[in-house]
Amino acid sequence: MVAAQAANDFPLIQTRSAAAISAANNLAGTIANNGDNVLKESLAAAANAFFAAQTTFATVTPATQAAMVPYVQAVQAPAIIIEYWSKITAGVATTIANQARKTPGTANDNATSAYATADQVVSGISGSSGTQALLQAYIDSPSSSRQMAATTALNTTINQLSTLLSSAGALDAVLDSGSAQAFPTIWYGTACAFLQPASGSTSWWTANNWTTLSFYQISDRVRQASGKLQVGGSGTYRAVALSAGRALTGQNRATRTTANFLEGINADTSRDGNAQMPAIGFVNTPLSSTFNDRLAY
């Protein structure tokens, strides 16, 4: 990055650019082999945009340096997005590694990782003083002392199994984090300028706090060939976005429930709160005194 900004060591720029491209390809390949998720798709989309802009940049011959600026910016924009998603991917990867065994670069295992807790269970069961041996000793020659030792060991194993299940659950949760989780929203490029105008300027969108009027529902946590969402009783949509119109009679925008913003089945109560199992149906009808939702799907 320093070399590129200085623009005075072109062999170094070329070498490091090649290394960066190779690393990005390796990262994309690794993610691609790990299933369908938000990180992979976002990184792939940015990479495709970067390659397309790069191809155009390599073929155009503007008459002036000023004419070259738009092509440079077209290459820069997806490169910034690639960096953004790569950082998130790196953070998720570190979290997964820590939950699985240990944080990269550290010498000791994470005591609450799935690996460490599984090792404790195995060690507690096997060996001459393990639960299995103590239970067998009591069975072969019953006594109160052997019964107590076996019972204590068995209770320890049960507690270790409980810890292992918790650790495995934590690992399972982060393994799925690339598929569905909230990411910081950053508006890139001129296409989003109307949503986040320059300081001191205003627009209808910002003046009316557009984020409080916009809603969306995703069909599933992974991107299937077709979705389950329907509009008007038909369709196989992967996502539906809605924009609420002005408040209608009976709607109180101070209370954040779908019925206070949307109408008809769009305001189904299953979409309130955490909405873990929201309805799949939506409706889109002409504007009226009882309906003013606008849909995109």
Where is pLDDT greater, at 45 or 32? 45
Please report which helix (H) or strand (E) contains residue 113, including its range.
Answer: none
Looking up tokens 């103590």 gives 134
193 part of a folded domain: no
Least confident of 186-190, 193-197, 207-211, 221-225: 186-190
Using the predicted structure, report yes or no on whether residue 9 has a pLDDT greater than 60: no
Are residue 77 and residue 134 in the same domain, yes or no? Answer: no
Are residue 6 and residue 96 in the same domain, yes or no? Answer: yes
Q: pLDDT, tens digit, for every residue of 253-283?
A: 989 899 999 999 999 999 998 888 899 999 9
Using the predicted structure, report yes or no on whether residue 287 has a pLDDT greater than 50: yes
Nearest Cα neighbor of 146 from 135, 162, 157 is 135
Q: How far is CA 134 from CA 117, 119, 157, 161, 263, in A?
A: 21, 19, 12, 18, 66
10 burial level (CB within 10 Å; 0-12, 13-18, 19+): exposed
Name the domain boundary from 175, 192, 225.
175
Give 288's DSSP letter: -
Split into its structural domains, the chain has a count of 3
137 part of a folded domain: yes
Q: Please state, for a pLDDT cut of 70, what percent of the chain lies above it.
A: 72
Are residue 137 and residue 53 in the same domain, yes or no? Answer: no
Paired residues of 172 in beta bridges: none
Contact 280, 237 (CB under 8 A): no
195 part of a folded domain: no
231 part of a folded domain: yes
State mean pLDDT over 43-52. Answer: 77
Q: pLDDT, tens digit, for every residue of 187-205?
A: 555 556 666 655 555 666 6
Determine the Cα–Cα distance for residues 44 and 37; give it in Å rounded to an integer.
Answer: 11
Using the predicted structure, report yes or no on whether residue 186 has a pLDDT greater than 80: no
Contact 118, 109 (CB under 8 A): no
Q: Please state, for a pLDDT cut of 90, what percent of the chain lies above it.
A: 20
190 part of a folded domain: no
Contact 265, 283 (CB under 8 A): yes
Contact 155, 149 (CB under 8 A): no
Name the domain boundary from 100, 126, 143.
100
Are residue 8 and residue 84 in the same domain, yes or no? Answer: yes
Determine the Cα–Cα distance for residues 72 and 67; give it in Å rounded to an integer.
Answer: 10
Using the predicted structure, report yes or no on whether residue 13 has a pLDDT greater than 50: yes
Using the predicted structure, report yes or no on whether residue 16 has a pLDDT greater than 70: no
Q: How far is CA 81 from CA 70, 122, 196, 251, in A?
A: 17, 45, 17, 39
pLDDT at 4: 42
Are residue 51 and residue 141 in the same domain, yes or no? Answer: no
pLDDT at 167: 76
Specify the 3-state DSSP secondary structure of 218: strand
Q: In what order do the strands lie in the sheet with 281-282?
A: 234-237, 229-231, 281-282
Are residue 79 and residue 143 in the same domain, yes or no? Answer: no
pTM: 0.45
- Computed over every residue of the chain, the mean pLDDT equals 76
Determine the Cα–Cα distance for residues 30 and 44; give it in Å rounded to an integer.
Answer: 12
248 part of a folded domain: yes
pLDDT at 11: 61
Are residue 7 and residue 92 in the same domain, yes or no? Answer: yes
pLDDT at 202: 64
Are residue 119 and residue 57 in the same domain, yes or no? Answer: no
pLDDT band of 289, cuts 50, 70, 90: very high
Are residue 6 and residue 93 in the same domain, yes or no? Answer: yes
Are residue 95 and residue 171 in the same domain, yes or no? Answer: no
Residue span of the structural domain in which 118 resides = 114-175
Q: pLDDT, tens digit, for every residue of 80-138?
A: 777 777 777 777 777 777 777 776 667 777 777 877 777 777 777 777 778 888 888 88
Name the domain boundary from 42, 74, 100.
100
198 part of a folded domain: no
191 part of a folded domain: no
Are residue 90 and residue 120 in the same domain, yes or no? Answer: no
Are residue 74 and residue 34 in the same domain, yes or no? Answer: yes
